[in-house]
Structure formats: structure tokens, C-alpha cells
Chains A and B, each alone.
Chain A
Amino acid sequence: MEASQFKSDQYVRFCPGCGDHAICMALQKAMAQIGVPTHQVAVISGIGCSSRMPHYLNTYGFNTIHGRGGAIATGVKTSHPELTVWQMSGDGDCLAIGGNHFIHEIRRNVDLNVCMFNNRIYGLTKGQYSPTSPKGFVSKSSPFGTVERPFVPAQLVLGTGGTFFARTLDVDMPTTVDCLVAAQQHKGCSIVECLVNCVIFNNGTHALIADRDQRAEHAIVLKHGEKMIFGKEKDKGLAVEIDPLTFVPKMVVVAADDPRVLVHDASQPDPTLHRLLALMGNNGDGLEVTGDGLPVALGVIRNVEMESYDEAVNKQIRDVRENAKVKTFDELMTTLESWTV
């Protein structure tokens, strides 16, 4: 299929220069590559800039209420597992007001493809801090800087038992398309954190990795089965060291030809290494503080197979029905204790 088949007739109203434009195009490309026909695709969103996305995709779409996209998408997918269901959400929609639905869709492993647009700001309400804004962030609602620790979404996803986590960047189209396609191919709840720039209220929030000149040194695109090599000259690699006193493992940068350089295994059920990789660049106050030389991990970090909720729910119904003595209302009524008048 062609990306153009997934373009709706609606004028795209993201601000000029907004990172969401790029993700919108990546979505159209990824959907075409995946090839599920438009009428079998449902895109559900909450409220926020990113939640406008369904309007620009020529599929079934539902732009709902703030934070509830996850619960509504769960209803769509569970009742109709034959559909491909996407959820479009932002750092506020997903992690603040919709936090409960977010952790439960992951815990249940509902087969959804969730794009979480992380611009670390509330854009649609014109510039308040979000749960991913770095500590001390100055915004309209935090004029003296925030005093709270931010979420690192990956940590939340892995802590909730997530089976798929990918991270991508608005300016890296190929990685974004790859992550979106992989999310769709993964059976279960796939979280794709899209680091996007808010050109109006939080311009340059991901500059350390978004700037072309800096990206090679500050980011690594992980690929399943490939060595973890990065740097402008492809001269650096990633390895794990375990502190001999505390047994705490940590990621370290080594020379690319060091035999300790790790090969990425996204399918490893144990999340320990995925967590270390996903937290690279995080100093506790948010991502991308790269003083220790560790790059921010992009690409599919975790991709593990597990039975999905929608599949299990539907299977249970099929199994019960297969052995059921009564299957219709009238038959059910015959089983009641009754007497005739």
C-alpha cells in the first residue's frame, strides 16, 4: 500500500515546525508498509496536540477525552481483536491524567500500538510542565521551577511488566518508521516513546540528541542482533560492568573493538539489561544529561512475546462456549428453577 492511502483530507493543524508532523508522516509510511487495509485500522486518541493525529489518518479514528484513550482503545481491541488498534497520546495524556489506564493496558498486555509523544510540556494548554519535564523546569505553572522528579517513561513501562518498548526521535524518520512497524508486528502492548520537539513552548528540549551534529555521539540506535556501536567514527561500544562491592550493574562506554561490547537482544524476557539501556542518559532529573558519556538509546529496546489480553479474553469465551450446554437466551431460561401457572 501507499502512504498516501493513509492520508485523510484534513488540513494538518500542528504548528509549523512541530515534531508531530514528522511522526504523522512516519505513521502513514509505517501503516502502508504494514499493509492492513484502512477499514481494519482504528486510531484512538485522548486530548492534547498528539491526540489530533486520528484526524490526519484515513482510517477509523476516535479523538476522545483527556487521558482515556487507553481505556477506550482497550475496549475496541478486546471486543474486536481482528482490528489493528493504535493509540495516540502524549506525556500528559498518558502519564498524568491517563496514568491508571496506561499502566493497566501494559500490565494486561492489550495488543495496542501506543505512540506516546513526549515533548516534556503541555502544549495545547499553552505551556505547563508535564510529568516528564526535568526537575527545576520553569514553565507558566512552575515559575520558580518544578520541585518534582520526572517520570522516565521506559522505567514505568518496564516496571509495569511491559513487553515492548521503543524510543524514537521526530527527526529520525527511518528509526521512527522501523519502531512503528515493529510495534505493529509485536503482539501485545507496544509502547513507542516518540521524542518530539515543541517549537512554541519547549523548543530544543531534545536538542542534545536531535541536532544532527550531536546525535551520533549522544544517541545509539539499538538493533536486535547487532553490536551496540555508536559515535561519529563508530568507535565506541557499550558494555556492562558490575560493581564488585555493591553488585550494581551499570552501562559503560568501551572501545568499539572491545570484546565486551554487547549484542542487543530485544527478545530477552529478563528486563534488567533493557532497563539499563533505556535509562542511559538519565540522571534522575530527566533524560539526555550525558555527562557520563552514555548515549540515549533509540530503537526497539524491548520486544518480548507474551499472550495478549484481548486474545486471552476471547479464547476463554470460545472455550466456554465450546463446552456450554446452553448458548442462547431461551436455552438459558430453561435452566432456571421455575414453575408453571
Chain B
Amino acid sequence: MKNTVVRFCGDSGDGMQLTGNLFAQLGAELGHEISTLPDFPAEIRAPQGTLGGVSGFQVELGADVYTPGDKADVIVAMNAAALKVCTLGSHFNHPQAHYDEQFALYHRHAIVIVDTDSLTDKDLEKAQYHTDNPFTELDIPETVQIVPVALTTLTKEALKESGMDNKSILKSRNMFAFGLVCWLFDEPMDKAIHLLEDKFKKKPALVAPNTKVMVDGYNYGQNLALSVSQIRLEVRGERLEEPGRYTSIAGNRATAFGLIAAAQKAGKHLFLGSYPITPATDILHELAGRKDMNVMAIQAEDEIAGVCTAIGAAFAGDLACTTTSGPGLSLKSEAIGLAVMAELPLVVVDVQRGGPSTGLPTKTEQTDLLQAMYGRNGECPAVVLAASSSANCFDFAYEACKIALENMTPVILLTDTYLANGTALWRIPQLAELPEIKPQTVPEELKGHYNPALRDERGVRYWAYPGMEGFEHRNIGLERDAERGTISTNPENHEVMVLARKKKIEQIAERIPQLSVIGNQHSDTLLVGWGSTEGHLHAAANELGCDLAQFNYIMPLPKNTREVLSQYKRIVVCELNTGQFAAYLRAQLPELQIEQYNEVQGQPFAVERIVRYVNGI
């Protein structure tokens, strides 16, 4: 088999995220490509066994993996509620719903492993079943291979001599499932054991019991061998051919690493001002723990203070960042405008989630695009970038810092829940191979003649900061005189300055990579996307035999955008919003006929649906 999709699904206390991550990591170490999708409820602990408390983790592994997969080939359902949610998908709340391939999270030929110990009358009641037979009630097709396993009993059996209390034993059920899935894919146990040892490094007492349960789960698989056949996956596709050290990484972590690398490359202190917000908080966690890297990460009193402390640090000469999600970006708007006006380098990471307002805090969406581009008072241009895989969150966090420091501007980096929590393979870079970063520090010869309006030939002002003797100046959020840098209310001067700030952003297009198309370039149809949809659109384009232009540079756009797009008869802009990028492209390229395909369900695209749309089905 080329690749496969596995979904671990259970109560939010069942350790599904851990299990899924372990399985993905194991796959990655064995040379598979991976892409993961954690899908958890907003509640930290919903009532046990209920539909609202179901937590899922989906992983696709094998060769040529672009996405975590539309539908699972293998489901592990730890309880009755999980079975229902996987079977009915988004329709799990409909009282009469039954298996429908359109909504189900697994396809008609999937293997569904179910914990039969968790299908008692009480479990069924909590999961709102009306009969005592969940399989017939859900009308699961006969083509689906149900694998009933008494997970709870078998786990208890495995640990009966461990001396552990019942509660702790029950917590290890996920390891039995993990072992079983490892058997299903014929994954070697020694690597898995090593992985567990590493995972429980800080709690060594947990290594032995968890290993025991996992190995028992694996061995149990051998007993199943008559009824279930093992699946063998291909190892890695062509994308993994670049030699080097690889790891699996989540987007938020990659973002944090990108910021750290950029600071060291630029010879700057990294300062983060942030306020906890789902799904961005992991970046704060990572950076707060990186004092060894000389990172200063401040948990501010609110979102506004997050960005404002960062602006203070930028004023004082640091590489300054703030991390947030949509509602936080709204709160930071005025301060980002200050950074535009004061022309200070600032990196703002917006890990988008479902909106508006509090919206869908744990779900993914691309709905902050126009807010990032235009959501400020006045003519307020800033750079907007978007990462397009969990791994390249590193590259674009790095690039955001480079552009900010070299062009004295705020840069807004858009990622989203899908990239932030999902994992992908990442080739670990070395600092030496990353591009140079040259902060726009004022040259010494301007000492005594400096003012904050002085610009170089690109139109970028020079950066002088406290501590530098002979460069004392006053920076402002008020309009400044284009020559002297002091407050000015002169009408012509204001227009000069508005255009100077605009030009400064536009000239960045000279220094960013040209847009390149994925595909054979013989097609009439071009899919267009931006940011996190790259994997899904790539897979869709492969299936459709058409080309794909995926944008990472949003503002400014790559210089050859018009040239590339105008070669196609049909341009379909696909986004997880109601058409924000499409509207922007239409405004930039009014002569082109631009079609749009949109989904706003808080979930990544389903490749299948894109293909159906483009084919007109």
C-alpha cells in the first residue's frame, strides 16, 4: 500500500493525542512521510463518555503524503461515543443519522477497532444511542471490518501484577491500542519501545507498565491474524530525498524555532510579548522554556500589552515578536498601526482559528487574511506572509524576521490551527545554511545628523535605538515630517509619507522569490491557494492533473503573479473562508476571470470535495 490514514478516537482523557503522536513519530522514524491532524474538543474535560468529549487524532503515513487524509482506513474507537462520532462525522448530533460515506470519518472498506468493554448500556446511554446495538443502529456497512477488542479487560489482565491502582491501569488502555495498531502495520516493537522510553523519560516508573501493555497489544494482534491481515506501507516518497537529519514537528514549535534561528542569525535578542490564546499558546510555551537560547518571553497582562511590550523591545533594538490568534489580532490592531507608523521591525504571528469573535477556538480557518492585510485605521500597509506546512512554519517565521529587520516594518505571519497542531516531517537545518539577515541599523557616519525619517535608497528608514550615543531622537505614532522626522500636520507632507510607507512595502517584492507553479504546466486549469491548504490542493491538483499556485507571500505578492496566472484559462481560488484571497486577486488582476471554491467548516479541505467541484460534479 502506498499510504494509509489512521484515526485514533476516544474520550478527551483517553490519551488519543499522545497515542496518535507516538504512532506518527514511529512512522516517521521508519521512513514514512507523515501528516497529522489533532482534532480535539474545546472543553478541557467534557463529561466522560459523551459525544462532546470525543477527541481525535488522524495521521496519514506512507509515500507521497500531502495531507492527514480525507477519510480513515483504520479507526481506533475507544468508546461508544467515539464510534458514533467517527461513523456519523459532523452529523453525530442528528437523532436518526446513520453511516453516510459523505459525512463518515472512515470509508466503506475501513478497519474499525472498537473497545467492546466500553459499549455497556451506560456507555451507550451517555453517547445517546437509542438501542443496545450500536453497529446496527449506526447502520455501519458490512464492507467495514469491525474488530471488537476487549481493550479494558485485556489491559487489566496485562497489568494485574503491576500493583497499579485501577485508575492508572485504565489510563494505559491507549497503549494496548497503540501496540495493536503497530502490529497491524507490522511496525517493529523495538523502535516503539525506544520511543516510549523517550516519551516517559521524566516519569521512568511509567515505562515498564506502558511497554508491557503495548507489547501485549502487539501480541494480541498476532492472535487476530486469522481474521485481519496486516498492512505493509511503502517507505518515503521522492520529497524526502534531500539527505539530512529529519524529525517530525508541529507548526507552532517550528514557528518558535524559526524565531530563535532568526534572532541568532541576526545577532539580536529575541523578545516575545504574548498572552495565552488557543491555538497560538504553544509558541509562548516553547519560547518561555528557551531561556538557554537567551530568549525573553513575557506573558503580558493582555493581548495589547503583548504587542506593546514587543514594540517597546523593538524600539530598544531587539528582534521583537508577538503571537496570537484572530481575536488577539483584533486587539493588537492599533498597536500594529503604531509599529507601521513608527517604522519598527515587529513580527506578529497569527495562528488563525474559526471566527468571528470567540468562534471555533480549536478549529482551523483562513478567515483572518483581510484583517491581517487591512484591519487597521488609516493607510497602514504591512507585510503579510503565510506558512503552508507545519514544517515550513520554520522557514516563514524566519523569513518574517528577516523582512521585518531588513525593512523596518511589521510582518504578520499567518498560520492556523491545522498547521500549528499538525505535524510533518522536517529536515533539521543548520544556522549556517540559512540566509543572511542584515538589520537596518543606522550607519555610524550618520551620528549627529540622524533623524527617524532618514531613508536608504530602497526607502527604508534607519534604525537607531537607546544606548547609541549621538542618535537620540523622538519616535512617534503621529505623522512625521518627511525630512526632519518631527511631528508634522502639513497636508502635502502627509501624502508624501503615506506613499513612502506604501512604497516601502511594495519594494519588498523585489527581494522575495518568484511564484512557481506545482504541476506539469500543460493544463488549462490552475488551482490557487495560500497558506495551509497547500497539501490538500497539491493532492487535488495531482488527482485532477492540473497545476497549483500556492502563495506564501501575500502582501506584497510575488512580482510574476500576473504573468503566471494569465497563462491559464480557468483559475480556481480555493480557500477556507468565503473568498478573501479571491477578492484580493480580483482587485489586483481585474482582467482575469477568477473562480472560487470555499469551505468554512472549521476543518481542512477534503481533497475529494475539491476534485468534485473542479470536475463539475
Which positions in A face B, CB cutoff 8 Å?
Answer: 8, 10, 37-42, 44, 47, 54-55, 58-65, 68, 71-80, 82-83, 100-101, 104, 313-314, 316-317, 320-321, 324-330, 332-333, 336-341
| Other-chain residue from B25, B292, B317 in contact with A324 (beta carbon distance below 8 A) | B292
Instruction: Enumerate 11 A-B pairs (CB-CB under 8 Å) in ascending A order.
Output: A62-B342, A65-B334, A72-B311, A74-B308, A75-B315, A78-B298, A100-B302, A101-B301, A104-B305, A326-B292, A328-B431
Contacts of A327 in B (CB 8 A): 292-294
**Nearest chain A CB to B29 CB, angstrom units:** 5
Q: How far is the CA of A261 from the CA of B330 in the complex (A)?
A: 55
Instruction: Write the B460-489 contact mask toward A (1 if CB under 8 angstroms, else 0).
Output: 000001111111111111100000001100
Contacts of B242 in A (CB 8 A): 341
A-B contact count (CB 8 A): 200
Interchain CB contact under 8 A, B312 and A71: yes
Query: Given A65-B334, A75-B309, A80-B466 in contact, is the A339-B245 Cβ separation under 8 Å?
Result: yes
Contacts of A47 in B (CB 8 A): 477
| Chain B residue at smallest Cβ distance from A104 | B301
Contacts of A329 in B (CB 8 A): 257, 260-261, 264, 293, 431
Interchain CB contact under 8 A, B428 and A338: yes
Contacts of A41 in B (CB 8 A): 466
Interchain CB contact under 8 A, B335 and A65: yes
Query: Given A317-B291, A340-B246 in contact, is the A61-B473 Cβ separation under 8 Å?
Result: yes
Cβ < 8 Å to A, chain B residues 422-479? 428-431, 465-478
Query: Given A327-B293, A337-B247, A339-B29 in contact, is the A63-B430 Cβ separation under 8 Å?
Result: no
| Other-chain residue from B25, B302, B312, B334 in contact with A44 (beta carbon distance below 8 A) | B312
Interchain CB contact under 8 A, B298 and A313: yes
Interchain CB contact under 8 A, A76 and B316: yes
**Nearest chain A CB to B160 CB, angstrom units:** 32
Other CB < 8 Å A-B pairs besides A60-B472, A63-B478, A75-B308, 14 of them? A42-B315, A63-B474, A64-B308, A64-B477, A80-B313, A80-B318, A100-B304, A101-B301, A101-B304, A313-B296, A328-B293, A333-B428, A333-B430, A340-B244
Contacts of A317 in B (CB 8 A): 291, 294-296
Q: How far is the CA of A55 from the CA of B478 in the complex (A)?
A: 12
**Nearest chain A CB to B261 CB, angstrom units:** 5
Interchain CB contact under 8 A, B312 and A73: yes
The interface centre, meaning the residue of A78, A320, A328, A341 with most chain B CB atoms within 10 A of its CB, is A341
Interchain CB contact under 8 A, B292 and A54: no
Interchain CB contact under 8 A, B301 and A68: no
Interchain CB contact under 8 A, B247 and A336: yes
Interchain CB contact under 8 A, A338 and B246: yes
Query: Given A39-B467, A71-B308 in contact, is the A55-B474 Cβ separation under 8 Å?
Result: yes
Instruction: Write the B378-416 contact mask toward A (1 if CB under 8 angstroms, else 0).
Output: 000000000000000000000000000000000000000
Contacts of A336 in B (CB 8 A): 247, 428
Q: Does B310 contact A (CB under 8 A)?
A: yes
Query: Given A38-B472, A313-B298, A316-B291 in contact, is the A79-B311 Cβ separation under 8 Å?
Result: no
Contacts of B290 in A (CB 8 A): 332
Contacts of A10 in B (CB 8 A): 474, 486
Q: Does B597 contact A (CB under 8 A)?
A: no
Contacts of A44 in B (CB 8 A): 312
Interchain CB contact under 8 A, A63 and B472: no
